Structure 1
Amino acid sequence: MCGRYVMARAVGDLLSQFDAELEEEVVVPPSWNVAPTADVPILLERLVDGSPVRQLHIARWGLVPSWAKDTGIGSKMINARSESVLEKPAFRKATRTRRCAVPADGYYEWKGEGRSKQPYYVHPKDGTPVVFAGLYEWWQDPSKGEDDPERWLLSTSILTTDSPPEGYAGGMLAELTALHDRVPLPMDRATMEKWLDPQAQDAAELVGIVRVNAHDVAEGWRIDAVSKAVGNVRNDSPELIEPVGSLF
């Protein structure tokens, strides 16, 4: 799964890297320990005057379905299983019409070693940013009036997989699933273009493309053992990603 990740890039860098624009000014403080329910940047495309426009927005990590009674459900919705995402009521409609990309520098995973768990930082070897396949949803707070600008909450979830796709044996994705049985799904630029396209109709095909492409993207990653300090969400500094040892 993906339960903690790093997103320490400036807004301007994200806009330039992913050819996006802002609908309104946003602030994204750098974080080396992004945790569930935090506000995070996402990339999405909307039709403006009939043409797709890519935008960067800020969303709460943990998808809150439009039909939810409150936002509490979001903490359980940080990840969406790609194998069943079109079957689950919380994710089905978003997969068809509200797909997004979640930029990151890398993510953390833990593996049991003896009586404790060792954290690992998974990230591209060349330092380029990652984009995970994601979903987004809008939720309206029923306790707030129609004129209250705070009544709308934008939230997001990151797609995961449980194993490499059929036909792919070994490789980094296999190593990652050995580290943990759930792996967030990264995309290359071409796959991201397809995933974000608001005019794309076949959601099942898009999920399949992302699952296959993730194998190739992960081949450019490395896994570093890092300090156990990352386990405390109050710790948030560049020192958290300093390697104390490497797997690959």
Structure 2
Amino acid sequence: MCGRYVIARAVGDLVAELEAEAEASLELRASYNVAPTTDVPIVLERIIDGELHRQVHVAKWGLVPGWAKDPAVGVRAFNARSETVAEKPTFRTAFKSRRCGVPVQGYYEWKKSPDGKTKQPYFVHTADGSLITFAGLYEWWKDPAKEDGAPDQWLLSCTILTMASPPEGELATLHDRLPVPLSRESLAEWLDPENKETQPLLESALAQAWDLAGAWELDAVSAAVGNVRNDTPELIVPLT
């Protein structure tokens, strides 16, 4: 699964790395302890005036489907299982045409001690500090309680896809679920809103995921990350 992660890039750096565009007014809050229901950057593609545009937006982490009566349903939908994403009512519509990428600098996972009494947090990241982009979905939800045209009437939300962890290696001992990473090439395919062959698209992303994840590094870090109120760069400093 993926329930905590790091994204502290400045807007300009994020846009450059994702080869995207963003509104001049876009603001991002650097966070070393991102948790579900907070606002996070996502990258998506839209067709505007016949041309494809890759854009960075800010979305609430926890997908709220358009048919939901209450946005609180997003609290339980921050991850989507790749095995059932095409069938689950919460995700299946977005899976068809509203796919996004969720950029992170790394994510946290907790490993149980041999006696099962304690858990050690680990920071999972690339060796060179480059971005990881997870396969995600996004949705727009309209608040019926708000007046038409109100600036906060529409809520943009997102989720991160997960899959089974590799059968061997460090990640296998960390958790049985893995957020699905995308290569630069597979990101372009995943974001394309005109690509309706969703099952082959998903299978292609999953086929590459273990190889991509195999290059990640795992660092034991402070237990302070367990408290979401702690949000400083020191959280990702490896324990010595």
| Shorter-chain TM band | over 0.9
Partner of 2:132 in structure 1?
130
Q: Report the TM-score, using the length of structure 2 for normalisation.
A: 0.96
Equivalent residue letter for 1:9: R
Secondary structure (helix, strand or coil) at the match of 1:17 reads: helix
Secondary structure (helix, strand or coil) at the match of 2:66 reads: coil
Q: Whole-Å Cα distance in 2 between the matches of residues 177 and 88 of structure 1?
A: 26
Is 207-216 or 29-38 further displaced after alignment?
207-216
Task: Tell me the alpha carbon deviations over residues 118-168 of structure 1, each in whole angstroms, 9 at most, x when there is no partner.
Answer: 10000001111110000000001111011211110000000000244xxxx
List runs of 5+ in structure 1 lacking aligned partners: none
The correspondence for 1:151, drawn from 150, 153, 167, is 153
Question: How do residues 168-187 of structure 1 correspond to structure 2 at under 5 angstroms?
Answer: 170=168, 174-187=169-182
- Cα RMSD after superposing both structures: 1.2
Partner of 2:196 in structure 1?
201
Contact 1:110 1:118 in 2 (8 A): yes
Q: Whole-Å Cα distance in 1 between the matches of residues 62 and 83 of structure 2?
A: 19
Report the Cα offset of residue 24 of structure 1: 5.4
Contact 1:135 1:156 in 2 (8 A): yes
Q: Whole-Å Cα distance in 2 between the matches of residues 134 and 97 of structure 1?
A: 11
Q: Whole-Å Cα distance in 2 between the matches of residues 225 and 55 of structure 1?
A: 34
Task: Tell me the alpha carbon deviations over residues 85-107 of structure 1, each in whole angstroms, 9 at most, x when there is no partner.
Answer: 00101111101100000000000
Q: Whole-Å Cα distance in 1 between the matches of residues 172 and 85 of structure 2?
A: 19
Q: Whole-Å Cα distance in 2 between the matches of residues 233 and 80 of structure 1?
A: 22
Secondary structure (helix, strand or coil) at the match of 1:33 reads: strand
Secondary structure (helix, strand or coil) at the match of 2:182 reads: coil
Equivalent residue letter for 1:181: D
The alignment covers a number of residue pairs equal to: 238
Partner of 2:65 in structure 1?
65
The yes-or-no answer on 1:222 pairing with 2:217 is yes
The yes-or-no answer on 1:78 pairing with 2:78 is yes
Report the Cα offset of residue 181 of structure 1: 1.3
Q: Whole-Å Cα distance in 2 between the matches of residues 72 and 83 of structure 1?
A: 24
Q: Whole-Å Cα distance in 1 between the matches of residues 184 and 221 of structure 2?
A: 28
Q: Report the TM-score, using the length of structure 1 for normalisation.
A: 0.93
Equivalent residue letter for 2:62: G
Q: Whole-Å Cα distance in 2 between the matches of residues 119 and 102 of structure 1?
A: 21
The yes-or-no answer on 1:49 pairing with 2:41 is no
Is 141-150 or 232-241 further displaced after alignment?
141-150
Secondary structure (helix, strand or coil) at the match of 1:96 reads: helix
Q: Whole-Å Cα distance in 2 between the matches of residues 45 and 178 of structure 1?
A: 35
Q: Whole-Å Cα distance in 2 between the matches of residues 93 and 24 of structure 1?
A: 30
Contact 2:165 2:175 in 1 (8 A): no
Contact 1:20 1:55 in 2 (8 A): yes
Secondary structure (helix, strand or coil) at the match of 2:123 reads: strand
List runs of 5+ in structure 2 lacking aligned partners: none
Q: Whole-Å Cα distance in 2 between the matches of residues 194 and 19 of structure 1?
A: 14
Equivalent residue letter for 1:145: E
